[in-house]
Amino acid sequence: MSIGGQRTSLSEVGHALGTSEDAAKMRVNRALEKLRKFFTGRGVILSATVLAGAISAHSVQSAPIGLATTIAATAVKGSAVTVPILTLVKGTLKLMAWTKAKTAIAVSVGVMFIGGSTGTLAFKKWEAYQAYRDSWRVVGMDSGSIEGAVPQVRILPTIFEPPAHNLAETPSSDRWGGIGVSVGEIVWAAYDWRPARIVFDAGAPAERYDFMANLPQGSTVALQKELKKTLGYVGRRESREVDVLLLKVKTPNAPGLAPPKPGGGDDWSASGHYYCDDRALSYATPPHLGLTRFLEGVFGKPIIDQTGLTQHYSIDLRWPSPHPQERAAIQQAVLEQLGLELVPGRESVEMLVVEKAR
């Protein structure tokens, strides 16, 4: 190793760091191995010997001009402060050696990335990998984009301007992705909790993000951890009395509540149209769960099912679109076509309370 322009033994390095020669050797070897693994993981194959040589070649640093003269002059004067000054000088040189060693590592990394044809190729490979890794960050992202992306869990400030917005999940899985979404929507994906039943104690933040959580297994749990690590938010369940809408039967046996279709499997909404076949939700779930989830998204309040209906249905709900008062139009369509009414109320509901991690 080179310090101060001269070759320095590991014994001397250990002494400078206040440790033994073996400990110094172990630290150097561990650092080189970590650096080697860093580059190997990014497609750059380098041996520990090559890394050590590169670092050594770029770590030579002469002492500042005039420092030796100052030390000599101080010693000649023979003043009472000579020993403290020499102690200070030794400490300064020790600090310089450590600082230069750290700088050398950074310089060596840069040289290996941009120096020579091999370094240029490695840098281009790294750029290509980064572009491939971020290929999901496009407007119009869908479930196919999630399935085709490199497995990852990330939350990043959005690179898109409003109204760019996408939130998607893959069928029959816990993998999600979003473009220009709110923190509340990320919480929805991470905790599998309906947005109308999520509350921020300190108010929902206005910032928008792009996120991806598409690990083969455990994506939502990993997304919860990333949400805490990156944005500092965690969720907890708590029963609270809140404003709700009670779903009740107004007109029994309405024609809009049709029997489920054989082989049905859809649950979606579009402008002026909501369709759901309860077979998409399975008979193990409560009846018209899809409808109540859709209505919660429209009205932004928990929908409490008080219909008493136990059958599953196929629902094809339509309303004028575009409509200046869409909520009122949907509420009217629910009443006329499904025979169901929405009545304001206040109930105790299990909510997901989102707060800053302590």
Mean of all residue pLDDT scores within the chain: 80
Question: Is the pLDDT at 5 greater than 50, yes or no?
Answer: no
Integer-rounded Cα radius of gyration of the chain = 32
How high is the pLDDT of residue 13?
Answer: 64
188 pLDDT band (50/70/90 cuts)?
very high
Helix (H, G, I), strand (E, B) or coil at 354: strand
| Interval 283-307 mean pLDDT | 87
pLDDT digits (tens, 9 = 90+) for 215-258: 999 999 999 999 999 999 999 999 999 999 999 999 999 999 98
Residue 184: pLDDT above 90? yes
pLDDT of residue 288: 77
Tens-place pLDDT, residues 69-124: 554 455 445 444 444 444 444 544 554 554 555 455 555 555 555 455 665 676 67
- Cβ pair 153, 223 in contact under 8 A: yes
Q: What is the rounded CA–CA span in Å between residue 255 and residue 275?
A: 15
Of residues 26 and 115, the one with the higher pLDDT is 26
- DSSP category for residue 283: T
- Helices in 137-233 by DSSP H: which ranges? 143-148, 183-191, 219-230
pLDDT at 8: 59
Q: Which pLDDT belongs to residue 327?
A: 95
Please name which of 248, 253, 256, 247 lies closest in space to residue 336, comparing C-alpha atoms: 256
**Which is nearest to 275 in space by CA: 351, 213, 333, 234?**
333
This prediction's pTM: 0.64
For residue range 324-354, list pLDDT tens digits in order: 889 999 999 999 999 999 999 999 999 999 9
Planar angle of CA 69, 74, 77, nearest 5 degrees: 125
Average pLDDT over residues 2-15: 58
pLDDT-based confidence at residue 205 (cuts at 50, 70, 90): very high
Name the more confident of 36 and 268.
268
pLDDT in tens, 94-107: 545 545 554 555 55
